[in-house]
A and B are shown apart, each in its own frame.
Chain A
């Protein structure tokens, strides 16, 4: 879309002639469009907020689980490091 097209598409609205006549005035049309768009934006923001709250909740759940996972791997790691010492000792290997 070139600049001229963009200008024309963002600075005027095309409306069906029947609807235009039914609404009566341009002011009323503009007001209805504005209210309609504001309602849409409000709905969209409500959804975005709900989605963010859900994602935060999910992360909090994972955060609660992670320390146990870390502790489990640390325990396994300690055992594995101890085993490595034993294995090296058995192989008379000094590192």
Chain B
């Protein structure tokens, strides 16, 4: 029986740690097809190895600067967002408390015209408006907290 010639040939790359490091960094495996594509890319490249290494160094430096700026901006954003969420939640809690108080107020008889006006306004704001806002939210299918504005 005659043995068939293997279609693939192995090349040792112990001396090229860079290739191993780059494949790891890029998350690619050097199977037959990938090697073919990488070789053709290498042959088509107009740049020399040294030029590419220099460009990579510059890109890494640029990435460092961009990432540092991004971290600063992201920190600033998270601080502001926390403040916004905190204020919104506080407002939500006070509004819910006010709604409970307004419900208690419904059972009270006002003393005088001014008190009656205040009572009506607050009941309108925290019970009537709240309900219509709730209905609007339900129709929109929005689950966000209802804000009384």
Contact = CB atoms under 8 A, between A and B. Distances in A.
Interface residues of B, number: 79
A35 B44 CA distance: 9
Secondary structure call for the A interface = helix
B73 interface: yes
B101 A36 contact: no
A62 B32 CA distance: 47
A80 B81 contact: no
Report which residue of A10, A16, A80 has the largest number of chain B beta carbons within 10 angstroms of its beta carbon: A80
Interface in A45-93: 45-46, 48-49, 52-53, 55-56, 59-60, 62-63, 66-67, 69-70, 73-74, 76-77, 80-81, 83-84, 86-88, 90-91, 93
Interface of A: 9-20, 23, 26, 29-42, 44-46, 48-49, 52-53, 55-56, 59-60, 62-63, 66-67, 69-70, 73-74, 76-77, 80-81, 83-84, 86-88, 90-91, 93
